[in-house]
Amino acid sequence: MTTQINVSIIGASGYSGGELLRLLSSRNDICINHVTAHTSIGKQVEDVFPQLAGRVELEFESFEAGRNGDSDVVFIALPSGEAMNIVPLLKSGERIIDLGGDFRLSSAEVYEQFYRHHHTSSHLLTQAVYGLPELNKELIAQARLVANPGCYPTSAILALLPALRSNLVASTGIVINSLSGTSGAGKSASLEMSFSEINENIRAYKIGTHQHIPEIEQALSQASGKTVSVSFVPHLVPMTRGIYTTIHADLQQSIDEQDLFALYKEYYARAPFVRIKQHIPQIKDVAYTNFCDIGFVIEKRTKKLIIISVLDNLLKGAAGQAMQNMNIMFGLPETEGFFPSSITNKLVEENVYV
């Protein structure tokens, strides 16, 4: 087991990068060696994130190939389209966690269709492991390159996995509606993300064209062994952080809510960050945590299963999940750095991580 993990964060001045700095700087087993940020070069971390004053005494650097060579793991917290140009420049001994979308899809053609970028590192797609711990823990442990999932897909995939793998619901005709806080759009300034446009307003966007559609379908199809198709409609709502996802799926079997609760509890028995609820979950229960809460209602009149999942888009949807993946890659309990050591030790003793 690694006693100290040396870390670099590329794109450390954004929302996800800032969350990574906050999480990692609180750990005694982590040494943050380098932080890069194109728009903040030369600034001290505490100038951009005053809450980290006295915790991270580093200066934002420009990215230069080879500079991160003393790092065990490199986090890339940049918009999609950037990591595919950076990963080939990193040294072979460095393990990589990309928080963007460049390595989540197995097909360069599908990537280019939905992300509207030419993929310059398509040869690396077969090497990347999709970094949803509740789905690919064993593969993540051995991976050099981990593609951290998107926030919307994490909420949808975790909600649907048990139902699809047990053939409880049909794999087609699935409708997903998700609401997101504005931090999911990143820090870049734009008129449509200004306070006057967002406040007291809700709007859908990218209906049928959102880049997370193929990610959701790919992960669920591979996990269930059948072709999964979804209708996905994302919405922007006037809050800073959080994902609220409501899913409608056609039931193929008769089941009551107690048995459904038991099915989900058993499926996620070894997943410390997934909590199954017997009530409708809400965002304030997961804000500033790495949890995903899942609840459901069986609508007998229409024979629909309605699943609701909630998570913090900057944590379980980004930086928290990235640290969870790092823990797995370096042989640490998934909860390291999230839970008090007494709780982590108890989970280890109970073989939750087997």
Indicate which residues carry an active-site annotation. 151
Which residues lie closer than 8 Å to 45 by C-beta, 6 or more apart? 12, 21, 35, 52, 56, 57, 58, 59, 60
DSSP state of 40: G
Bridge partner list, 36:
10, 61
Q: Are 91 and 67 in contact (CB under 8 A)?
A: no
Extended beta strands in 19-134, E state = 30-36, 73-76, 95-98, 129-130
H/E run at residue 164: helix 151-165
Report CA 194 to chain centroid distance, whole Å: 25
Task: Specify which residues 275 forms β-bridges with.
Answer: 293
Instruction: Give the Cα separation of 103 and 165 in Å (integer).
Output: 25
Cα(340)–Cα(172) distance, rounded to whole angstroms?
42
Which candidate, 30, 4, 35, places its Cα nearest to that of 18?
35
Instruction: Give φ, ψ of 259 to 5 degrees.
Output: -70, -35
* CA gap 174, 348 in Å, rounded: 37
Contact 176, 233 (CB under 8 A): yes
Among 170, 194, 148, residue whose Cα is nearest residue 319: 148
User: Which of these, 153, 106, 88, lies nearest to 321 by C-alpha position?
Assistant: 153
